[in-house]
Structure 1
Amino acid sequence: MAQPKYQEIAKAILHLIDIGHYQVDSKLPTHRTLAEDYNTTAITIAKAYKLLAEQGHIESFVGRGSFVKKATSLKAVIQSQFDDSEWNFSILQPCYANHLTELYQQIESCSNQPSSPSLFGYTEDTGSIKHKESGMLWMQKFGLQVRSPEHILLTNGAQHALSTLIENYSKPGDRIAVEALTYPGILSIIKTLGRHAVGVDMDEQGMKPEHLKAVCIEEKPSLVIALPSHQNPTTVTMPLARRKAIAEVIQQHPVWLIEDDIYNFLNDEPIAPITNLIPEKSFYISSLSKAISPGLRCGYMKVPQTQISALASYIRTMLWLASPLPFEIADRMIRSGLAFELANQQKQIAKQRQTLANEILPGVISQSTSSYHIWLTLPQKWQTDEFTTTAKERGMLVSDGQFFTANKTSTQAIRLSLMAIADDTYFEEGLRALRDLINSR
């Protein structure tokens, strides 16, 4: 079925915004002018503008007209839209090929089998103990030491866990130590809550303990946030010795650790989390978003014994509890072993695509053979923002490396997701199109 005319026009205008034809803060043409350009009515253009305003791309003022809005950094770097005419190398998610069939079957099975009435009502303590147990099983499988499901809190994904911890264990104006190159979602939370990110230098083993120590002394951060496995964006996985060194620094200073370990299922063998070494000073986050589905919004947070009550009360106050229905689906998948099978399938796909990307693309920096993404250095002839825009014009969505820098330092790299494109042939065509663009100058 064809799209309504106003939606087609809105898409065309958005494309012109993306490629820079309409600049940020510039005034868009009047309804009458565009109506003539698109051979339609002013009412249709008004509907297109209204749609773009609702989506946050433009803003309109009575008597002044409509203006292009600046995209948020998170939206600019992670583009979740899927269009058959585009290669989405932007968003990190599981590769949905046969994976979707299994998910549909699990949802159908859950809906057809009688379940506890508690799934449809309020429960105490931020969720069912059964769902906390399955979360504990998931995290134990990948190396976390946890004695009781009472130490597990359920959240609406890892992002919710991060925002909850940052809001509870820091205050506006506080410094928060993060890896010098890190996930923009973390930087966005820190900025939105009025905190300040301080980048810690990295090497081929991840966050450098000596610089973290200096930051703890000089900046006195309230929190340290680390992604120890398949770090986003660098793909680095901390070896055990580096994790021990980071734990020693945390132990020596009045600071909490948030260990965001959502990619640990991609490790060839489980590596002991930093949290195992300092359980009384660390919060450990895992989720099913990358291994199974971001749509389930199943996040698991292991917290120190002394902090369980306060955090449970906060979650209950803010949203009462994460929805039990997705956790019921997750529970069945984890206990049957299917969740681990699906996670392993994703790891194998990632390995195949890492190999292919390293063969086709120049300038790849990847410490891993199984990460969902690569960190690609562009030739000096390209600026990252210019490359990103040009790639967009040619139907390729990539993530500008500038959005990953905690200290706003310049970078000559972009991040490429290897998993969002489901079809293998189309994925390889996209890699070759990227290579041709890189070499086009």
Structure 2
Amino acid sequence: MNDWIPDLGARDRPHYLAIADLIAADIAAGRLRPGTRLPPQRRLAARLGIDFTTVARGYVEAKRRGLVDSRIGQGTFVRVPPASAALRPGALPVDLSMNLPPEPDDPPLIHRMREGLAEIGGDIAALLRYQGFGGSPADKDAASIWLGRRGLVPSQDRVFVTPGAHPALLALFGMFTAAGETILCEAITYPGVRAITRQLGMRLVGVPMDAEGIVPEALEEACRRSAPKCLYLNPTLQNPTTITVPMARRAQIVEIARAARIPIIEDDAYGFIPQHGPPPFAAMAADITWHVAGLAKCVGAGLRVAYVVAPSAKAGWPFAAALRAMTVMAAPLTVALATRWIEDGTADQLLRFIRNETAARQALAREALAGQHFRSDPLSFHLWLELPHPWTRSAFAGQMRATGIGVVPSDAFAADGAPGEAVRIGLGGPVSRAQLRSALDYMAHALANPPDHDSAFF
């Protein structure tokens, strides 16, 4: 690939390190595949307008990390993992980069899901029409049943049925924050929030965290320093750290938010999974909390349905206007299916399956990654792996991708500043337990055999 030209303009590291970083990033993203030949060093130096020795040092650094091989008289190539280190045939690829609940494989449950789908088709013509915004009374009744599992009993005029959590967050951020203004969040946060705020030109400021979530003293300081317009939180089984904020810490956060007069946007994507978790912020501080309860993580990502609870009916008016302008309405077909599954108990059965299967997969992970430092929860279908020295997040993600395993480096989750050397590993989706165990075993082997100056990965 003699046309590969890294963009060094946005990098504040020495150019030779930036070149190695970009090689790793492009391997992780699939833009550089195993066996690809990199441009000759002198040619790349001329294209970048830098010294030949800088490019040479960059290639040497990439080789030190185990990303490339040099062949005398032939050039520098993206490293191909040895066949002996590959996963057993039939196990590739294993995409653990998406954070999805395990897919149901129980025949009676699948049959019940299909029955619900057939039932809503009885009046299919009506589902092809425009519907009232925010959900019909029947859909809001189903939402109330579902929200009741989290101890929430809002009136119907405070409940909105939306086409997924993303549009809801987009509308909420736009309501409270103008371009250039600040939103606070956890220092390690959900990548979708980064994408939304970047698109809207807003400033996202991460608040330092400990094992119980954002640090209260740091939150107070951020409120004084940044004049935020709102606080975004993913407080239960947080993506990606799996932290669940305990009750006492939640009370401290509410007190600080009240003093700063900022609303809390509670992304409760995983809140329905624990059976005995702490109450949501919306149950503790309904007057300042916007509760977003998506079904993607507790029923199925493809539904694209979320229930939003406003602090009051009046507060919901500008939200309804903003969301209507962007989405017109939630798709009637998917909303009808969600309502049906909640009413007939299928959603509860799906939730039970997700809990049970997730617990089994977490047990696999604990066994395979024993001795490694990672954060997880028995009911979280992802884990946060902190990489041992000398592994870097880019090198590890690149090596995994070269073997057909997808993981997400910590860069995707850092609200601002430099992330630590960590990756998120998804345990759900359409991956079988056997495939997952093979992938985790491979990771454990790689972690125990890090790159060094004298050898490649294995």
Task: Give the TM-score normalised by the residue count of structure 1.
Answer: 0.79
d(CA) in 2 for partners of 1:314 and 1:381?
48
- Secondary structure of 1:386's counterpart equals helix
Q: 1:356 to 1:210 in 2, by over 3 A?
A: same
- Secondary structure of 1:153's counterpart equals strand
Residue in 1 aligned with 2:390?
A: 381
- Shift in Å, 1:18: 4.9
Given the alignment of the two structures, is residue 435 of structure 1 paired with residue 448 of structure 2, yes or no?
A: no
- Secondary structure of 1:314's counterpart equals helix
- Shift in Å, 1:342: 1.0
Residue in 2 aligned with 1:391?
A: 400
Residue in 2 aligned with 1:132?
A: 140
Residue in 1 aligned with 2:150?
A: 142
Map 1:14-413; keep pairs closer than 5 Å. 15=30, 17-18=32-33, 21=36, 85-98=92-105, 102=109, 105-107=112-114, 109-112=116-119, 114-115=122-123, 118-143=126-151, 145-305=152-312, 306-361=314-369, 362-413=371-422
Residue in 2 aligned with 1:34?
A: none
d(CA) in 1 for partners of 2:237 and 2:208?
17
Contact 2:219 2:256 in 1 (8 A): yes
Asked which structure has the greater CA Rg, the reply is 2
- Secondary structure of 2:223's counterpart equals helix
d(CA) in 2 for partners of 1:205 and 1:237?
7
d(CA) in 1 for partners of 2:253 and 2:341?
34
Contact 1:237 1:367 in 2 (8 A): no
d(CA) in 2 for partners of 1:258 and 1:93?
22
d(CA) in 1 for partners of 2:106 and 2:373?
28
Letter in 2 for 1:439: A
- Shift in Å, 1:200: 0.5
- Shift in Å, 1:108: 5.1
d(CA) in 1 for partners of 2:224 and 2:106?
47
- Secondary structure of 2:32's counterpart equals helix
Letter in 2 for 1:273: P
- Shift in Å, 1:93: 0.9
Deviations 1:254-313 (A, max 9, x none): 211100011012213142111222212110011111122111111111112121122112
- Shift in Å, 1:352: 1.5
Residue in 2 aligned with 1:63?
A: none
Deviations 1:188-243 (A, max 9, x none): 11111100110111111111122111111110111100111001111110111111
d(CA) in 2 for partners of 1:100 and 1:300?
29
Contact 1:402 1:408 in 2 (8 A): no
Map 1:413-424; keep pairs closer than 5 Å. 413-424=422-433
What's the % identity of the aligned pairs?
28
d(CA) in 2 for partners of 1:283 and 1:198?
19
d(CA) in 1 for partners of 2:37 and 2:234?
37
d(CA) in 2 for partners of 1:304 and 1:324?
25
Q: 1:421 to 1:324 in 2, by over 3 A?
A: closer
Residue in 1 aligned with 2:68?
A: none
d(CA) in 1 for partners of 2:125 and 2:157?
22
- Shift in Å, 1:422: 3.0
Q: 1:161 to 1:246 in 2, by over 3 A?
A: same
- Shift in Å, 1:97: 3.9
Q: 1:301 to 1:17 in 2, by over 3 A?
A: same
d(CA) in 1 for partners of 2:33 and 2:251?
45
Greater CA drift, 277-286 or 15-24: 15-24
Letter in 1 for 2:441: R
- Secondary structure of 1:221's counterpart equals coil
d(CA) in 1 for partners of 2:150 and 2:171?
23
Unaligned runs of 5+ in 2: 1-28, 40-89, 451-458
d(CA) in 2 for partners of 1:22 and 1:129?
61
- Shift in Å, 1:135: 1.5
Residue in 1 aligned with 2:73?
A: none
Q: 1:292 to 1:99 in 2, by over 3 A?
A: farther
Contact 1:251 1:278 in 2 (8 A): no
- Shift in Å, 1:430: 1.0
d(CA) in 1 for partners of 2:422 and 2:136?
44
d(CA) in 2 for partners of 1:391 and 1:156?
34
- Secondary structure of 1:264's counterpart equals coil
Letter in 2 for 1:432: D
Contact 1:224 1:256 in 2 (8 A): yes
- Shift in Å, 1:440: 2.1
- Shift in Å, 1:146: 2.6
Q: 1:327 to 1:18 in 2, by over 3 A?
A: farther
Deviations 1:34-69 (A, max 9, x none): xxxxxxxxxxxxxxxxxxxxxxxxxxxxxxxxxxxx
d(CA) in 2 for partners of 1:207 and 1:422?
32
User: RCO (CA 8 Å, sep 6+): is it higher in 1 or 2?
Assistant: 2
> How well do the aligned residues superpose, as a CA RMSD in angstroms?
2.3
Q: 1:155 to 1:84 in 2, by over 3 A?
A: farther
Greater CA drift, 226-235 or 344-353: 344-353
Letter in 2 for 1:213: E
Contact 2:116 2:341 in 1 (8 A): no
